[in-house]
Amino acid sequence: MIDLMFSLMLVALISLSSDSDENYYSMNEFQKVRKIDTHTHHNSESTALIEAGIEANFYLLTVNVDVPSYPPLPEQIRLSLLQKSKNPKHIDFLSTISLENWKDPNWAEKEIERIKKTFAQGAIGIKIWKNIGMTYKDENGEFIMADHPRLEPIFRFVQDQDKTLMAHLGEPKNCWLPLDEMTVNNDRNYFRDHPEYHMYLHPEYPSYEQQVEARDNLLAKFPEIRFVGAHLGSLEWDIDELAKRLDRFPNMAVDMAARIGHLQFQSQKDLQKVRNFIIKYQDRLIYGTDLGISGDPDPNRVKANAKATWEADWKYFVTSQTMENSVVSGVFQGLKLPKEVVDKIYFHNAVKWFRPDI
């Protein structure tokens, strides 16, 4: 009788365990799940990164950016169109704006015409970059912030066209902190090696708070614009601060590109808090990496790097395993998010907020 009861209990436990496992993905399911990486940079004719995406079941968005080290914007458009023509079912692109001719009184009208052309060519939105707020100055010698009145016609046009505005504004808050107060190793190492970009050493530049305030002002002026804050909306340091903005601005979502380490750092402090945050805001969080490709790279190296990045992130989101990396000091635990949350982060939210040709 005792043996029978034990057998029945064992069967029940196995059944419960099986039901529970059905609610979560495993590492082995990485390749079969449809996914979108919404933040990559294809500044090359090489298709290696797209091929890596195809192998891993990733659709990619490549993002044009007015970065000095990147190709000129017309060349970025050409490369985006080339990649789209070669793999039309595996990639889309965002165009961008240039402030180079800001002093031209007709700057906004000319930029709108250029952006309009990129939309006709297939761009599904635009990205603005941190040179707004950190590089360009207006005719009065003041930094051009995201809420500058001359930018409003651009944002209004994007809103009226029902396109997406992605914005990388400011830097991680660590950029404004002394090295010994920074939270993650990659920020500390970067700003140690590049003091010219370490805003803690340059108080003549706008503060972190001013960068965030200007972005918030933009969203207040354009509450209907479909907005994706790149890099956790530059609020990577505190999920409570990010939650405040998501509550305040219902048309705002954020991607996680190059900031998952900040979530992992906060996981070390309070795993359940981070997990609860992601579950609560599961409709507003979008997966992205910031993977890039340029020149004539070694395709095997590109594929290996992409695969390692994607699989490490997947492990953090879908398992409860203990792991470590170079970004965070010490070990941290995976979040083991439910399948429906993972599907939104990796696919459905990208479709909703970017509307790719998928």
What letter represents residue 141's amino acid? G
Mean residue pLDDT of the chain comes to: 95
* Residue 17 confidence (pLDDT) above 80: no
Q: Report which of 191, 216, 189, 70 is spatially closest to residue 133, judged by C-alpha positions.
A: 216
pLDDT tens-digit readout, 317-347: 999 999 999 999 999 999 999 999 999 999 9
Residue 124's pLDDT band, with cuts at 50, 70 and 90, is: very high
User: Token digits for 16?
Assistant: 């419960």
What b/e sequence results for 237-262 when a residue is b if at least 16 CB atoms lie within 10 Å of its CB, and e otherwise?
bebeebeebbeebebbbbbbbbbbbb
pLDDT tens-digit readout, 272-291: 999 999 999 999 999 999 99
* Residue 16 confidence (pLDDT) above 60: no
pLDDT tens-digit readout, 199-219: 999 999 999 999 999 999 999
Distance separating alpha carbons of residues 263 and 328, to the nearest angstrom? 10
Q: Report which of 349, 315, 308, 350 is spatially closest to residue 335, judged by C-alpha positions.
A: 315
Is residue 18 within a helix (H) or strand (E), and if so which, with residue range? helix 2-21
Q: Is the dihedral of CA 270, 276, 278, 284 positive or negative?
A: negative
Q: Residue 75 has what pLDDT?
A: 98
Distance separating alpha carbons of residues 9 and 22, to the nearest angstrom? 20
pTM here? 0.93
Complete domains list, the chain, with CATH: 36-173+207-354 (3.20.20.140)
**Residue 201 DSSP SS3:** helix
pLDDT tens-digit readout, 89-120: 999 999 999 999 999 999 999 999 999 999 99
Q: Residue 20 has what pLDDT?
A: 59
User: Token digits for 266?
Assistant: 């906060």
Distance separating alpha carbons of residues 305 and 229, to the nearest angstrom? 25
Average pLDDT over residues 246-264: 99
Q: Residue 7 has what pLDDT?
A: 38
* Residue 8 confidence (pLDDT) above 90: no
Pairing mode of beta strands 35-43, 252-255: unpaired
Q: Are 185 and 179 in contact (CB under 8 A)?
A: no
pLDDT tens-digit readout, 37-79: 999 999 999 999 999 999 999 999 999 999 999 999 999 999 9
How much of the chain, in percent, has pLDDT values that exceed 70?
Answer: 94
User: Residue 222 gets which letter from DSSP?
Assistant: -
C-alpha distances in Å from residue 263, one per residue of 110, 184, 318:
40, 10, 14
**Residue 143 pairs with which residues in a beta bridge?**
137
User: Token digits for 96?
Assistant: 């961008």
Distance separating alpha carbons of residues 97 and 144, to the nearest angstrom? 14
